[in-house]
Structures are given as structure tokens and as C-alpha cells.
Amino acid sequence: QVQLQESGPGLVKPSQTLSLTCTVSGGSISSGGFYWSWIRQFPGKGLEWIGYVYHSGTTSYNPSLKSRVTISVDTSKNQFSLNLTSVTAADTAVYYCARDTYHSGWYFFDYWGQGTPVTVSS
């Protein structure tokens, strides 16, 4: 059973960088067909896809965040990470890591971490 677990600070000051790591267990992050993603959920419950990294290091980002986001992968540790720079209160959300799976021609998020709340405040 694949499991994902987010880790990182729950409080970040405005203008600083939000950094989170997702540790994958029960499966290899190097397996093909999976896109390792970050998704956030705002206090009003809306969901926003942030981006993904493939095991090769290939990335794709939401255009709304592209200038501030970096997602990277460390296959030796079976982890992938999110960096979001110049944060503001609008970045306050629960951050999820998730696996975007390619299955029979379709992509969908089949495994999610439990989510980690991040508050941006001084």
C-alpha cells in the first residue's frame, strides 16, 4: 500500500519561502507512470493544483504560481519537495502531496498524503 506523508513548518512569515517534503513509502518514486504532485486546499475548501515532478526531474507548474514554485525529486530518499517563494497570507492552506497516476489512458490522483496545514503570518 502506497503511503505519502508531508512534513515541514506549519508557520511561515510573509515574504519568506514555504518548504515542504513528501516522503513516499510502499512504492518507488522512480516507477514510471506516476507524477508526484502538490495540491493545496484553501480555508474556504477550494482545491488548487500546484504542480508535479516526474522521477526524471521533469516538472509542470500551475501558471498562476509558476514564477514562485519549484518542485524537485530525490529518488535516493524516495521524496519530493515543494518550495514556494515570497509567500503571503493568500498562501495559507492545507498542502497535500498526491500521486497522479496514469491508468489505462487516464490520469487521476489515486493516493494522497494526510495534508499539512501551513499558515502565513508574522
Partner 1 sequence: IQLTQSPSSLSASIGDRVTITCRASQAISTYLAWYLQQPGRAPKVLIYAASTLQSGVPSRFSGSGSGTDFTLTISSLQPEDFGTYYCQHLNVYPRTFGQGTKVE
| Binding test (CB under 8 A) with partner 1, winner from 7, 19, 49, 78 | 49
Taking CA atoms, 68 is separated from 21, 27, 71, 109, 117, in Å, by 17, 29, 10, 23, 19
Nearer Cβ to partner 1 (76/105): 105
Cβ distance 55 to 32 under 8 Å? yes
Which amino acid, one-letter code, is at 66? K
Nearer Cβ to partner 1 (45/122): 45
Q: Is 56 in the site for partner 1 (CB under 8 A)?
A: no
Q: Which of residues 95-114 bind partner 1 (CB under 8 A)?
A: 96, 98, 100, 103, 105-110, 112-114
Grid cell locating 70: 519549484
Q: Is 45 in the site for partner 1 (CB under 8 A)?
A: yes
Residue 121 backbone phi and psi in degrees, to 5: -160, 150
Give the footprint of partner 1 on this chain (CB under 8 A): 37, 45-49, 60, 62-64, 96, 98, 100, 103, 105-110, 112-115
